[in-house]
Amino acid sequence: MTTDLRLVAEPRAVVPLPRVGEPDSSSGDELARRFRLGEGGALEEAYDRHARLVYAMALRSLGAHHDAEDVTQQVFVRAWRGRAGLDPRRGSLGGWLVGITRRQIADRFAARARDRDLADRAGRVAEPRVVGDPPADVVDSVVVAHEIERLPSQQRAVVRLAFFADLTHQQISEATGLPLGTVKSHLRRGLERLRRRWELDGVASYR
């Protein structure tokens, strides 16, 4: 059965969610089973039940209603298309959706950083300058981006958000779902790796 993925209801208009800490009912387990099997009406019911939480998470992290609305839509589209990955025995549907939401928020932060970088580059291209060696800050930006790509995956994600999205430790924690202490640890270790790489590769000579 084909289910229409156009979710027209606004998150703010959906039915209230259970209070924080209230356990999932048996109906929630049944919904997770139906959702995974792709049964008719399961997507709409999941949206009615969980969209408000998804929207609130996105709005708190991103700070813009249009971004929160886009993320909410993408979360449910991705969840439905990837519903085979939902295992009700390992966790609730709500918890699974929260994980997808965190990844979508992190992707949106990364997209913002790319957009800002492109805008900065476009501005530099538009400015006339004397032909010669590239400015030191441009060289450094390229070198930093290259070195960050060499970090382990979790350190790389945290350092990217700190460097390019200019997020605080708390914002990175909310975007990635990592504990605040883990974020600080990854950032500290990532920066230490970068420092060692710069010393080995002679990056300091650019300055």
Nearest CA among 62, 78, 56, 89 for reference residue 7? 78
Mean per-residue pLDDT of the chain: 73
pTM exceeds 0.85, yes or no: no
Between CA 97 and CA 152 the distance in angstroms is 26
Q: What is the CATH number of domain 11-104?
A: 1.10.1740.10
pLDDT tens per residue, range 150-190: 778 777 788 878 776 777 888 888 777 888 888 888 888 87
Region of 166 please: left (phi>0), alpha (psi -120 to 50) or beta: left
Instruction: Place 207 in a pLDDT band, splitting at 50, 70 and 90.
Output: very low
Higher-pLDDT residue of 25, 29 = 29
And the tokens for 169? 């430790």
pLDDT tens per residue, range 191-203: 777 777 666 655 4
**Mean pLDDT in residue range 15-34:** 59
Architecture of domain 129-206: Orthogonal Bundle (1.10)
Between CA 43 and CA 136 the distance in angstroms is 52
% residues pLDDT > 90 (the chain) = 28
Between CA 199 and CA 193 the distance in angstroms is 10
Between CA 159 and CA 140 the distance in angstroms is 16
Q: Is the pLDDT of residue 32 over 60?
A: yes
What residues does each domain of the chain span? 11-104, 129-206
And the tokens for 102? 């965190």
Torsion of CA 154, 118, 171, 178, to 10 degrees: -10
Contact (Cβ atoms closer than 8 angstroms) between residue 178 and residue 172? yes
**Mean pLDDT in residue range 57-62:** 90
